[in-house]
Amino acid sequence: MAYSSLEECLLDLEKNKQLIRITEEVDPYLEMAAIHLRVFEAGGPALLFENVKGSKFRTASNIFGTIERSKFIFRDTLKQVQQLIEIKNNAIAALKNPIKNFSAGLAALKALPLKNPFQKPILFQEIKIEDIPQIHHWKMDGGAFVTLPQVYTEDIDKPGIMNANLGMYRIQLSGNEYVLNKEIGLHYQLHRGIGVHQTKATNKNQPLKVSIFVGGPPSHSVAAVMPLPEGISEMTFAGVLGNRRFRYMYKDGYCLSTDADFVITGEVYPNENKPEGPFGDHLGYYSLQHDFPLMKVHKVYAKQNAIWAFTVVGRPPQEDTSFGQLIHEMTGSAIQHEVPGLKEINAVDAAGVHPLLLAIGSERYTPYAQTKQPSELLTIANHVLGTGQLSLAKFLFITADDANKLSTQNIQDYLHFILQRIDLSRDVHFYTKTSIDTLDYSGESLNSGSKVVLAAYGDVKRELATEVPNCLNELNHFEYAKLVMPGIVAIQTREFSTYENAINELENLNEQLSTFNEKLSTLPFIIVCDDADFVSKTLNNFLWVTFTRCNPSHDVYGLNSVTKYKHWGCSTLIFDARIKPHHAPPVLKDEAVEKRIDKIFEKGGSLYSVF
């Protein structure tokens, strides 16, 4: 179905019993986000808030709350997009089947953006930033934020929509030192297209013109998060996915999406930054206050009866998980074509996406060798860590499965396969003093940390422990141990103080366990943590705590570790997954707000039917 607006999509969802209207007045300060979170956790419908305190505009959230609803929204175009991506990946095969791919070719005609012939869209009205619903998501947030923005910029050397970038970068509307209605914050991370555009404009000592679109057809939001190759316009992808050409016009030198519900225009001047944040982010922690580009507001537009689209991010999984699932659904084998030998990859959502990658590759370099060991896998790993946003990964597990039965999507089975085969004296490869995700505070400073590749291949080397060895519950200075899964145990200990103390503590652990090497041979991983019960309770808890709170170079230790010819190895890996003083605090729900929103879920409330 080709939606011409966000409202048309929401009405379609309502018709198909996938949307609920909330008629009670809801405060955009914490209440709206809390309602969204509770409905998302229940696998509930999309939400349309019709009575927003302090604003005349309605808001909508949880639009992409499940992969099933996301696929429903794009039910008429998803297959065609998959075909187009496959044609790009394998053009020769497509030429051999022209009839089969004919419909995909017709769909591609929607890719060309359509310039609005009218100078002024009839439906647009000029408003102020303060008129927009000021949604404050988490208690420690620095102000109101835009969480589903489509941020549009152009290349100053190659202006025009076909060389433009559309990305989803966080926008702070109020708070901190921002002058209300005149200034907003623009937060973007490493490896983003907008950074290239700002660099070029700064080098010419010129401001970068920025347009922020909110709402419009849902294909526009997906296009803003789609990892397209550099040089391919996201607006063309939006047209294909939405089965409707991206409509636009220029006003005062700014590009305006004429299908958007809201448009904010402004300029980013060279070397003008202001503190942005804190903000409860998708790793489940607050990203703290740092200087980011300042955008000076030019004008703000809204359609008549505009709807403000938003989402809430926090500890995964959240609504943005569906974006990742939808992208995976569309791209299929695209990554395999980009990285030769790579069969499958999973950026693990429960660990915050960038901290943990699981991969399956090929091992074809030395089929004649008697001993099976990683070889091609290391080449693939280096390629992965040099590819776009995959390069932000901290922990990359990679293996090869000659039987082709393993999947990265079944995380526990995947880790079991790895743990049975990994040779910890050979298969651990560190990258130090390198870049990591801007939102990841486990490193040495902003954007700076380390990586580790764990590449395992070959025959089974060990059976895995299915209960906690007694020696782990008889340690001095370590409280008790719990089994996380076969081969992995969590040990609870005192809170982290300093790295100097941590080194001494882990050396003490090594000394205590040095006489139990045989008993620990079935235990490749030990997780040192603040709360062993929490870590061992669910697989997602283990993934979140271990891989968001560890900086490989600083927080990975080993029993009986040895460094030989610059290569480090051990008999058992120890992850110090305690919270460190430099870590950002985790996002937590506000109990008072939770009690206030109960009335909407009780009998007679708009959302009574959700539970």
The H or E element that residue 22 is part of is: strand 19-22
> What CATH number has the domain bearing residue 386?
3.40.1670.10
Which residue type sits at 115? K
Task: Give yes or no: residues 146 and 169 share one domain.
Answer: yes
Task: Give yes or no: residues 266 and 226 share one domain.
Answer: yes
- Find the domain containing 341 and state its range: 320-456
Lookup result for tokens 């560890």: 550
Q: Is position 15 within any domain? A: yes
* Per-residue confidence (pLDDT) for residue 106, from 0 to 100: 52
Q: Is position 497 within any domain? A: yes
Task: Give yes or no: residues 474 and 383 share one domain.
Answer: no
Residues 241 and 234: their CA atoms lie apart, in Å, by 10
The residue out of 407, 434, 456 marking a domain boundary is 456
Residues 522 and 420: their CA atoms lie apart, in Å, by 9
Q: What is the pLDDT of residues 88-139, one digit of tens each?
A: 555 444 333 444 443 445 556 788 999 986 655 555 899 999 999 999 999 9
Whole-number Cα distances in Å, 448 to 1, 188, 198, 435, 441: 44, 16, 21, 5, 9
The separation between the first and the last C-alpha atoms of the chain, rounded to the nearest angstrom, is: 30
| 0.75 exceeded by pTM | yes
Contacts of 60 (CB under 8 A, 6+ apart): 6, 10, 46, 47, 48, 49, 307, 308, 309, 310
Q: Which of 500, 510, 526, 505 is nearest to 561 (CA)?
A: 510
Residues 502 and 414: their CA atoms lie apart, in Å, by 30
For the chain, residues with pLDDT lower than 50 are: 91-104
Judge whether 284 and 354 are in contact, CB under 8 Å. Answer: no
Q: Is position 315 within any domain? A: no
Q: Is position 83 within any domain? A: no
Task: Give yes or no: residues 490 and 444 share one domain.
Answer: no
The H or E element that residue 251 is part of is: strand 247-251
Residues 190 and 138: their CA atoms lie apart, in Å, by 24
* Per-residue confidence (pLDDT) for residue 502, from 0 to 100: 96
Task: Give yes or no: residues 329 and 241 share one domain.
Answer: no
Q: Is position 28 within any domain? A: yes
Task: Give yes or no: residues 202 and 334 share one domain.
Answer: no
* The total number of structural domains that make up the chain: 3
Task: Give yes or no: residues 424 and 495 share one domain.
Answer: no
The residue out of 456, 487, 503 marking a domain boundary is 456
The residue out of 429, 456, 483 marking a domain boundary is 456
Task: Give yes or no: residues 418 and 488 share one domain.
Answer: no
* Per-residue confidence (pLDDT) for residue 231, from 0 to 100: 61
> What CATH number has the domain bearing residue 190?
2.30.110.10
Mode of pairing for the β-strands spanning 247-251 and 254-257: antiparallel
Task: Give yes or no: residues 505 and 537 share one domain.
Answer: yes
Task: Give yes or no: residues 27 and 62 share one domain.
Answer: yes
* Per-residue confidence (pLDDT) for residue 93, from 0 to 100: 46
Judge whether 263 and 257 are in contact, CB under 8 Å. Answer: yes
Residues 145 and 169: their CA atoms lie apart, in Å, by 11
SS (H, E, C) 380-436: HHHHHCCCHHHHHCCEEEEEECCCCCCCCCCHHHHHHHHHHHCCCCCCEEEEEEEEC
Which residue type sits at 482? K
Judge whether 72 and 18 are in contact, CB under 8 Å. Answer: yes
Residues 573 and 428: their CA atoms lie apart, in Å, by 10
Task: Give yes or no: residues 324 and 303 share one domain.
Answer: no
Count of CB atoms within 10 A of residue 12's CB? Answer: 15
Q: Is position 392 within any domain? A: yes
Alpha-carbon torsion, ordered 46, 543, 138, 310, to 10 deg: -30
Q: Which of 539, 568, 147 is nearest to 356 (CA)?
A: 539
Which residue type sits at 242? G
Which tokens in the block code for residue 309?
A: 């689209």
Task: Give yes or no: residues 203 and 166 share one domain.
Answer: yes
Q: What is the pLDDT of residues 480-526, one digit of tens each?
A: 999 999 999 999 999 999 999 999 999 999 999 988 877 899 999 99
Write down how long the chain is.
611
Lookup result for tokens 């996380």: 484
Which tokens in the block code for residue 580?
A: 């460190």
Burial 219-250 (b: 16+ CB within 10 A, else e): bbbbbbbbeeeeeebbbbbbbbbbbbbbbbbe
Which tokens in the block code for residue 287?
A: 């990203």
Q: Is position 89 within any domain? A: no
Q: Is position 103 within any domain? A: no
* Per-residue confidence (pLDDT) for residue 228, from 0 to 100: 75
Residues 344 and 340: their CA atoms lie apart, in Å, by 11
Whole-number Cα distances in Å, 238 to 80, 171, 406: 13, 21, 34
